[in-house]
Structure 1
């Protein structure tokens, strides 16, 4: 008989154990919730920091080229002042040409290239036709005049060239002129 109460005590302790088993599961769930909230907050902070860094980068990405162009700016100011004080037009022209060369060399160093297109076949990826011109010396579809140059930045066309494109004279106009 003494043993029965021990067994009944064991049953009572077994019924108490499932409650204890639920506590570790609840603790683990609470820890996972905390971890999820912490990771969510960290990700949100990372996203905000990335946006801030990207905006900062955009602001100062052109700093180097602006610094180089300031030299050109200064030289243009000097050329204007010099032009006001001299009657020698040739020296003014030479000075402005030197500043222009300095300016173009900076742009070329940064990857800017002029699209060469005079006499080339019209390419809508490189050219924007602003007029068609009857030109008996050129085949149809050739660029005969560049109204505004186009430019590449490295390999990307950043401004297509505005061009005049040759076309053959209309047959009716040929016959009426005879």
Structure 2
């Protein structure tokens, strides 16, 4: 019986060792699985971080593109507004250019000396029309360019002759042959002038 008892104990000890070995194998397997999970988790985290970085870069690029488009649109609006203001400011330029020769004709006609009352009356009527024309042009922003006694300015004056006159300084307008006009700050027609040498 002692032998049976020893054999039974031996079997139990072997079973315990196997169970203990099984536990250690299971623990090792579990540790290996956990290490694999952690490694996969670390790989997944790295992949996700890379994906987030790519998406952030794409987002930044799109935001920059939107900012550029907004800036371009603001520039377009500002440029359009400026163009509209310029068009509005100089809208009457063409009509003024067409009226100036008629105004010149009025001024030449008004320089004649009346021979009788009838001619005097006609000249007075022409003066009234000329004055109304000048007032209408002035309301639109038309100004006469000053010439005689002014220093010659090629942006305002067109020199057609040079003379020597000691009563004027050099490069000064001596005589105006045709009036010049500006519309606001733009020269419509330069003054035709004689300039002292």
TM-score bracket for the superposition, by shorter chain length:
0.5 to 0.7
Between stretches 12-21 and 100-109, larger displacement belongs to 100-109
Using the size of structure 1 for normalisation, the TM-score is 0.55
Q: Which residue of 2 aligns with 1:15?
A: 43
Kindly provide the CA deviation profile for residues 151-175 of structure 1, in whole angstroms up to 9, marking residues without a partner as x: 45567766443222456xxxxxxxx
For residues 44-65 of structure 1, give each alpha carbon's deviation from its aligned partner in whole angstroms, at most 9, with x where no partner exists.
55555555555544444445x5
Once residues 147 and 156 of structure 1 are traced to their aligned partners in structure 2, the CA distance between those partners, rounded to angstroms, is 21
Q: Is the 8 A contact 2:147 2:193 kept in 1?
A: no
Q: CA RMSD in A?
A: 4.0
How many correspondences in the alignment? 145
In structure 2, relative to structure 1, the CA distance for the partners of 1:11 and 1:45 (3 Å cut) is same
- Normalised to the residue count of structure 2, the TM-score between the two structures is 0.51
Question: Which whole-Å deviations, capped at 9, do the CAs of 1:57-110 have from their partners, x for residues lacking one?
Answer: 4444445x58xx8xx9xxxxxxxxxxxxxxx55444333322221222233342
For 1:101, which of 110, 131, 146 is the aligned residue?
Answer: 131
**Do structure 1's residue 164 and structure 2's residue 197 form an aligned pair?**
no
Contact 1:115 1:152 in 2 (8 A): no
Cα distance in 2, alignment partners of residues 95 and 47 from structure 1 = 53
1:139: Cα distance to partner? 5.1
Q: Gaps spanning 5+ residues in structure 1: where?
A: 73-87, 168-178
